[in-house]
Amino acid sequence: MEHIVIIGNGISGVTAARHIRKLSDKKITLISAETDHFFSRTALMYVYMGHMKFEHTKPYEDWFWKKNRIELKNGYVETVETESKTLHFTDGDTLTYDKLIIATGSKSNKFGWPGQDLNGVQGLYSKQDLDALEVFAPNKNICKRAVIVGGGLIGIELTEMLNSRDIPVTFLVRESSFWNGVLPEGDSAMINRQIKNHHIDLRLSTNLKEIVSDGNGKANAVIIEETGEKIPCDFVGLTAGVSPNIDFLKGTSIETAKGVLVNRYLETNIKDVYAIGDCAEQREAIGNRRPVEAVWYTGRMMGEVIAQTICGHKMKYNPGHWFNSAKFFDIEYQTYGWVFTKPKEGHLHFHWKHVDDTKCITIEYNASTNEFLGINTFGIRMRHEVFDRWLTEKQTIDYVILHLGKANFDPELYHHFEGDIQRAFKNQLQNLQL
Amino acid sequence: MSNKLNYSMSLAKPDAKDFSLKQKVAIGIGIIGLFILVLALFNADINHSGWVLTTALGLIVLGTIWFSNSVYLSESKGIKNDGVWFKSISSRGLIGWATGIVLTLFYIVLYFYPHLLGLGKDGAPNTGLVALFDPLSQLLSGRPASQWFVYGALYTMAILVFGYKFFLKYRHNRYEQIRTGSVMFFQLAFAFLIPEFMYVMNSDLPYYDLKSIWPLNYYLFDSWSIKGFLSAGTIGLILLIFGVVSIFIITPILTYKYGKRWYCSWVCGCGGLAETAGDPFRHLSSKKLSSWKLERWLIHAVLVFSVVMTMATIYSFLGNNPDSYWLTKSLFIKLSIGFLSLIFLLFMLFKRKEFGKDAKNASIGYAVVISLVLIMHFTGTTDQIFFIKSSSLRSAYGLYIGSIFSGVIGTGFYPIFGSRVWCRFGCPMAAILGLQQRLLSKFRITTNGGQCISCGNCSTYCEMGIDVRAYAQKGENIVRSSCVGCGICSAVCPRGVLKLENDGLKGRINPTEILLGNDVNLMDLVNQNN
Ligand SMILES: Cc1cc2nc3c(=O)[nH]c(=O)nc-3n(C[C@H](O)[C@H](O)[C@H](O)COP(=O)(O)OP(=O)(O)OC[C@H]3O[C@@H](n4cnc5c(N)ncnc54)[C@H](O)[C@@H]3O)c2cc1C
Ligand code: SF4
Ligand code: SF4
């Protein structure tokens, strides 16, 4: 029986395992050094905030794996010998495979800041990070102030987490406005205000210079690059992005760049070795997508595809229209298609914001053909299926605005804003024509 | 973190947000109100003229309102679940257990030892807690209070004040607000006030909460109840007919259009308490597959029991002689079997696909009911069925299901098993509505394409223990007989994945993996292979 070995029990590895089991009878081994059972990384914040216990983050009950004959191995892979198809573990153990799937995810970026390895300085990625957080920032008495470095999705989550335990947070953001490498100005500005409304000390256009030690190996302050200001703190969160977790592949014959290089079939340069999820890097980018795409959905979709290939229906990774979602404190965000920070050449933005400052949308469209290209929606839920269809049908923005009600996914009895949005759109059109 | 587990057993909370001074004072005020009730309970020598009661209830209401304002109004609108699993009361900690035990004891006393509450025996004047409520009862219906009046008043107050708290907690969510307004209204008007006024109008009428429908209202067809209605003249007859119409006509129509939520989380009193006072405990329900199995077995067993019990009750007071009354024992049996068989056949003919693997269980259930009824008919006598006294069957049901299950376990154990134990495992009404919801309703929870991140908030906060995530992460709609449509899964989802909707029957149950994201051909393939 063919032995499929998967390194990494995150969403990509687990999806692959589940689908291979559905499609075949192969022997499957799932390896991880992080936790025995798959849990949802995206839910780590809710454990710290007391919304859930860790066990609630596990999408499958513990008996699931045995029942589906997916063998679990807890161990850290130190290196891969592709000639003999053997994995070597740190504890000296070995395991041979017929086909190998690398799904090792990401690790938090550290940019060589002085003091970045002190106690009380960490990223937020793994279960171990969560445990460390409970040690260094369990409450506002032990952690009198926290500093978060890096204004991305994980940074704002960590800020919200600490804030939920009344720990004062200083949030250092390199950009001039929160996440404005991705969000257009109007959207980003609204989130800035949302952050400040939650009593966060938000510092825009601010870089970290160094982290100061208390002399006992623990952080007790940070120094700001621009002003030299010293901010005393007991915890420093480094959330300046993630990068593929592939150090253990150094010195093997598997070709890597930022991540493990794969073609559209998710194959590496070595036969019978594949890579999926956060750690995979496309040799050529697909559409507007980045070569490394560290999002949950990508890992899941790659897991579905690789299972097909391994079970004999060789299949290209062919993702559909881009979508994503996040939540910024109380404001939910969803996006479908592509909306860029500034409209791309020949494109325009339509922006609408509700007076209560918690809802807005931005639509990107083609200025000459009016083709709808993408939407960011904040505080209003929208239907994935509908936007996916409209993007495929290449509908115009006029059509989308007129039928926006069809895409609404807010709970029943909510107030609707389509009328408001339509009026705003008409006004903008008139202004453009003048 | 596993070490969090221990936190909940300690009275001090090392890391969660603590109560502010204002909140502590508010809690103190509420406790003084409760304490007055306890004093009354122990027959302390207090004035029973009405103002003591007013003060006690007033303090409880004031304390809760002030507390809620302080907790929620000072914060932004949004999901307020911070620290739920750290607080002792809401994470099976010491306070949680203590509350559970006190509530359970209260129910035991209420059901089995009402004289301990001060109920006067054989017309003697009330004392203690019951006497404290006499003035209110006199005011509403001109008669002294009973233990049920006390219970009804406290129950209604709980729904109102905790409803207010819930209102503030979900003040960003109009579905939750309007739904809560509805349960508060139905409890106050239909369960509490209208029955009292009906008594004033016509004192022959048995207590009748119009919204309490058979089989939840299992005593509707008891002989004393039927006699009461019939002896109360036209109004009694109208009410009795309304009772029959509500279960056989109104209920199916509304459930078809809106799912069982129209009743379970908008109207029902048990649901009302669970959604308001029980809200802080909703996440304690078990999500295990084994609990789901137990649930299906238990709730349908109760349904069978209640149907057979009701038929036995009616059967036992019918006669054999068609000349004295048209509905004879044998005609009743024939009609009942005919009706049950018709329903069973219709479902099997038109809903076989939706039944899926459950068709076998449904057939077993049907066969059990029919054989029990036949056994009853052929072995029963006027006062003996199943070789036991017919009234003992009815009292066994009242005792084990009506009192112990729905009251003592259902509500007393809120802080241990969550707020919907009765609704999930025991309520025969929920079982009937659930069958309809699954097979013949436009209601479903739609999943938003591929947006789910499997975080588990929805499953954790589902009071019915439905593993919502298991469906959402597969892009599958949630069509479950137990879903009461509370809407909380949708509210707590951080990615906007879930929407409760009523829509056409086609494509309602979509068990194939239509996950959006990957291109469509792949999905064709996945579905083919299934
Ligand atoms: C706090 C947080 C919030 C997030 N929120 C979102 C969100 O809202 N939406 C979204 O789309 N994405 C989100 N993400 C990103 C998303 O979680 C990741 O894209 C996704 O988990 C990646 O899955 P994966 O299977 O590729 O890798 P991982 O989930 O990282 O799994 C890899 C596993 O492999 C193990 N491993 C690595 N190397 C070895 C080795 N040598 N030997 C043995 N085991 C090894 C790791 O320990 C890990 O358990 C979030 C991430 C974080 C950290
Ligand atoms: S599935 Fe959702 S709506 Fe239904 S009972 Fe559970 S939480 Fe409520
Ligand atoms: S809460 Fe939403 S995102 Fe989280 S598991 Fe449930 S449906 Fe998925």
Nearest Cβ partner for A414 among B174, B492, B518: B174
- In the predicted model, what is the mean pLDDT of residues A74-83? 97
What does the radius of gyration of chain B's CA atoms come to, in whole angstroms?
25
Collapsed DSSP state (helix, strand, coil) of residue B128: helix
From A198-212, A267-281, A287-301, B105-119, the region with the lowest mean pLDDT: B105-119
The amino acid at residue B148 is W
CA distance B471 to chain A (A): 11
Ligand located closest to B478 CA = 2
For residues A152 and A238, the answer to whether their CB atoms sit within 8 Å is no
Q: What is the DSSP string of A166-188?
A: T--EEEE-SSSSTTTTTS-HHHH
Residue range B258-315, pLDDT digits in tens: 999 999 999 999 999 999 999 999 999 999 999 999 999 999 999 988 888 888 888 8
Q: Is the pLDDT of residue B395 over 70?
A: yes
The pLDDT confidence band at residue B9, using thresholds 50, 70 and 90, is very low
Q: With CB atoms and an 8 Å threshold, state whether A304 touches B526.
A: yes
Return the percentage of chain A with pLDDT > 70, whole number: 100
Mean pLDDT computed over every residue of chain B: 87
Q: Is the pLDDT of residue B502 over 60?
A: yes
Q: Which of A209-213, A400-404, B42-46 has the lowest mean pLDDT?
A: B42-46
Classified as helix, coil or strand, B344 is helix
Q: What's the rounded Cα separation, in Å, for the pair A211 and A179?
A: 23
Instruction: Indicate whether B4 belongs to any domain.
Output: no
Q: What is the torsion angle, in degrees rounded to the nearest 10, for the CA atoms of residue B520, residue B523, residue B527 and residue B530?
A: 170
The residues, ordered by sequence, that sit 6+ positions from A356 with a Cβ below 8 Å of its Cβ are none
Are B379 and B464 in a shared domain?
Answer: no
Token readout for A290 is 């980045």
Of A165-179, B154-168, B363-377, which range is least confident?
B363-377
Give the position of tokens 């009862």. B137
Instruction: Tell me which chain A residues have a C-beta less than 8 angstroms from the C-beta of B257.
Output: none
Query: What integer is the mean pLDDT of A313-335?
Result: 95
Residue where a domain stops, chosen among B152, B179, B199: B199
Instruction: Give me the mean pLDDT over the A41-59 stretch.
Output: 97
Mean pLDDT of A154-182: 97
Measure A381 CA to ligand 3 centroid, in angstroms. Answer: 14
Q: Of B397, B417, B440, which closes a domain?
A: B440
What residues contact residue B277 under an 8 Å CB cut-off, 6+ apart?
B158, B159, B162, B414, B419
pLDDT of B522 over the 60 cut: no
Asked if residue B456 and residue B356 are part of one domain, the reply reads no
ipTM associated with this complex: 0.96
A-B contacts at Cβ under 8 angstroms: 183
Number of domains in chain B: 3
Domains A121-240 and A323-433 share a fold: no
Kindly state whether residues B404 and B474 are assigned to the same domain.
no
Tell the residue nearest (CA) to atom 5 of ligand 2: B483
Q: Please list every residue in chain B whose beta carbon sits closer than 8 Å to the beta carbon of residue A318.
A: 518-519, 521-522
CB contact under 8 A, A308 and B455: no
Q: Is B9 domain-assigned?
A: no
Same domain, B305 and B407: yes
CB contact under 8 A, A50 and B86: yes
Is residue B65 within 8 A of residue B27, CB to CB? The reply is no
Contacts of B316 (CB under 8 A, 6+ apart): B223, B380, B382, B383, B385, B390, B391
Q: Which of A49, A58, A334 sits opposite B82 (nearest CB)?
A: A49
User: What is the mean predicted confidence (pLDDT) over B449-457?
Assistant: 95
Conformation bin of residue A394: beta by default, left when phi > 0, alpha when psi is -120 to 50: left
Specify the pLDDT at position B7: 47
- pLDDT confidence of A434, banded at 50, 70, 90? low
| Domains of chain A, residue spans | 3-107+243-310, 121-240, 323-433
Give yes or no for residue B466 CB within 6 A of ligand 2.
yes
- A323-433: CATH number: 3.30.390.30
What atom in ligand 1 is closest to the CA of residue A89? Answer: 42
Q: In this structure, is residue B487 part of a structural domain?
A: yes
Q: Which CATH superfamily is domain A121-240 in?
A: FAD/NAD(P)-binding domain (3.50.50.60)
Look at residues B376, B408, B440 and tell me which one is the last residue of a structural domain.
B440
Element (H, E) at B200: helix B194-201
The residues pairing with A222 across neighbouring beta strands, listed in sequence order, are A211, A231
> Is the confidence at residue B1, as pLDDT, over 70?
no
Amino acid at B417: F
Looking at residue B207, its pLDDT comes to 80
Q: Please check the confidence at residue B253 and state whether its pLDDT lies above 70.
A: yes
Fold classification of A3-107+243-310 (topology level): FAD/NAD(P)-binding domain (3.50.50)
Scanning the structure block, which residue is given the tokens 């950009």? A175
Same domain, B173 and B215: no
Q: Give the phi and the psi of residue A212 in degrees, each rounded to 5.
A: -95, 140
Q: Give the end-to-end CA distance of chain A in Å, rounded to a whole number.
A: 72
**Can you tell me the mean pLDDT for B159-172?**
97
B2 contacts A49? CB cut-off 8 A: no
- Please list the alpha-helical segments (H only) found in A328-417: 384-392, 397-402, 404-407
Are the C-beta atoms of B86 and B16 separated by less than 8 Å?
Answer: yes
Query: Considering the entire predicted model, what is its pTM?
Result: 0.94
Q: How far is Cα A313 from Cα A308, in angstroms, rounded to an integer?
A: 5
Where is average pLDDT lowest: A129-133, A367-371, B151-155, B398-402?
Answer: B398-402
A85 contact partners, CB below 8 Å, separation of at least 6: A96, A97, A98, A100, A272
Tell me: pLDDT of B462 over 90: yes
Whether B5 is covered by a domain: the verdict is: no
Shortest CA gap A131–chain B (Å): 7
> What does the pLDDT look like over A123-153, one tens digit per residue?
999 999 999 999 999 999 999 999 999 999 9
Averaged confidence pLDDT in chain A: 96
- Are B276 and B338 found together in one domain? yes
What distance in Å separates the CA atoms of residue A183 and residue A358, rounded to the nearest whole number?
15
Average pLDDT over residues B367-385: 78
Q: Do B298 and B402 reside in the same domain of the chain?
A: yes
Q: Which of A182-186, B197-201, B489-493 has the lowest mean pLDDT?
A: B197-201
Q: Which of A194, A315, A381 to mutate to test the interface with B (most CBs of B within 10 A)?
A: A381
Contacting residues of B for A57, CB less than 8 Å apart: 455-456
According to the model, what pLDDT value does residue B415 have?
A: 94
Q: What gap in Å lies between CA B497 and CA A410, rounded to an integer?
A: 10
Would B523 be classed as within a structural domain? yes
Q: What is the rounded average pLDDT of the residues A294-322?
A: 94
Confidence of residue B351 (pLDDT cuts 50, 70, 90): confident
Same domain, residue pair B348 and B426:
yes
Option in B76, B288, B491 nearest A61 (CB) = B288
Which residues make beta-bridge pairs with A360?
A353, A378
Q: Is there a single domain that holds both residue B122 and residue B231?
A: no
Q: How many angstroms separate the CA atoms of A129 and B37, rounded?
A: 50
pLDDT of residue A134: 96
> Do B295 and B434 fall within a single domain?
yes
Q: Report the pLDDT averaged over residues B378-383.
A: 70
> Same structural domain for residues B190 and B238?
no
Q: Is residue B269 part of a domain?
A: yes
Q: What is the CA radius of gyration of chain A?
A: 23
Cis bond leading into A232, ω under 30°?
A: no
What does the pLDDT average to over A256-266?
Answer: 97
Retrieve residue A145's tokens: 């102030």
* Domain boundaries, position B359: 202-440
**What's the token pair of residue B367?**
């066969």
| A313 vs B contacts (CB less than 8 Å) | 525
What share of chain A has pLDDT > 90, as a percent?
98
Contact A320 B516 (CB under 8 A): yes
Q: From A267, A268, A326, select the one nearest A296 (Cα to Cα).
A: A326
Q: SS3 helix, strand, coil % of chain B, rounded to 5?
A: 65, 5, 35
Pair of tokens at residue B377: 């008919």
Say if B15 is an interface residue toward chain A (CB within 8 Å). Answer: yes
- Based on the domain organization, do B363 and B393 belong to the same domain? yes
Query: Which pLDDT belongs to residue B288?
Result: 95
**A57, two tokens:** 């983050």
Over residues A42-60, the mean pLDDT reads 97
